[in-house]
Amino acid sequence: MSLDQPHSFVKHQSVTRDAFLGGRLTLSQPSRGFRAGLDSVLLGAAVAGDRKSLLDLGCGVGTAAFVTMAHNADLTATLADQNAEMIALAESNASANGFATRARIVLADVAGKGAERRAAGIPDNAFDSVIANPPFFADGAGTLATDAGRAGSRHMDAATLDLWIKTAAGAAAAGGEVIFVYPAQSLAPLLAGFEQRFGAVTVLPLTPRPDEPASRVLLRGIKGSRAPLTLLASRALHDAESRAFRPDFDAIFRGLARLVW
């Protein structure tokens, strides 16, 4: 829900104040370009409830990490993005929502060199959970948005996606979980990268309505596990004849429940 109060916090761009989790979170984000939505909330709600440390790769304004923190009062989080304007908004959002003492926000290129990420404040083998909502259009597929910020947040080739997975694997602690949300039609390279680096890979397909093809997937891998892949039954966001969310997802989007999978 947009509170629609633009101001000049981000240079050359207005922002809106948007409510998430039934108003438990109120976040500033750009009025144009990539805007957090269902995927960010689902990603944040998908983190196991017993985790103590979180890394959000490509955090944007911080939505996914802050959803996780809203569900887990004991969690500390590091949020990383290469866009300085998004970092500034994430810092503002952390303060505005009472997370300043539990959130560390760093400017870092997820696909960059490991030494540079470590220098920026992303250590190896350090996080119980690593989450990401990576850019999702492969080179030559889809249509790039004309807005530079939106295009940058949506465009990635398979090789760069694999670098994101590699970074997540390096940052996760032994036994840590790595969770990505991604469009279902681009699942193949993501799944290949996960199977190369993790065990106990779990795939949750999400469909708009029952009997419709999956539109997005959640993938979770466990660092150091040798357990086989699990493909879960798909879950529908809406009933067949309604635009309202099904009760389990409605509870997630209102902040009343985590996503258990």
Helices (runs of H) and strands (runs of E) counted in the chain: 8, 11
Written as one string, the DSSP assignment of 95-125 is HHTT-TTTEEEEE--TTS-HHHHHHHT--TT
Question: pLDDT class for 142, splitting at 50, 70, 90?
Answer: very low
User: Which CATH number covers residue 46?
Assistant: 3.40.50.150
17 inside domain: no
CA pair distance 169, 156, nearest whole angstrom: 19
72 inside domain: yes
Give the DSSP letter of residue 241.
T
**For 126-145, what is the mean pLDDT?**
70
Residues spanned by the domain of 237: 38-253
209 inside domain: yes
**pLDDT exceeds cutoff 80 at 239:** yes
161 inside domain: yes
Between β-strands 216-222 and 127-132, what pairing exists: parallel, antiparallel or unpaired? unpaired
**For 109-123, what is the mean pLDDT?**
95
- Average pLDDT over the chain, rounded to whole? 89
**pLDDT exceeds cutoff 90 at 237:** yes
For residue 12, CA distances in Å to 7, 28, 30, 31 come to 10, 15, 10, 11
29 inside domain: no
What does the pLDDT read at residue 123? 97
Report residue 240 as tokens.
């067949």
9 inside domain: no
Q: What are phi and psi of 77, to 5 degrees?
A: -140, 145
Q: What are phi and psi of 53, to 5 degrees?
A: -135, 140
93 inside domain: yes
* Owner of token pair 């879960």: 232
20 inside domain: no
CB 207 within 8 A of CB 235: yes
Q: For residue range 169-193, what is the model confidence (pLDDT) as tens digits? A: 999 999 999 999 999 999 999 999 9
Q: For residue range 11-37, what is the model confidence (pLDDT) as tens digits? A: 556 899 999 999 999 999 998 777 888
What does the pLDDT read at residue 31? 82
**For 96-117, what is the mean pLDDT?**
96
Domain count across the chain: 1
- In the chain, what percentage of residues exceed pLDDT 90? 82
Q: Please return the burial class of 244, using the count of CB atoms within 10 Å of its CB with bins 0-12, 13-18 and 19+.
A: exposed
CB 191 within 8 A of CB 172: no
* Residue 218 CB neighbour total at 10 angstroms: 22
CB 208 within 8 A of CB 239: no
Question: pLDDT class for 2, splitting at 50, 70, 90?
Answer: very low
**pLDDT exceeds cutoff 80 at 137:** no
**pLDDT exceeds cutoff 90 at 73:** yes
**pLDDT exceeds cutoff 70 at 139:** no
**6 or 64: which leads in pLDDT:** 64
**pLDDT exceeds cutoff 50 at 149:** no
What does the pLDDT read at residue 155? 59
CB 182 within 8 A of CB 219: yes
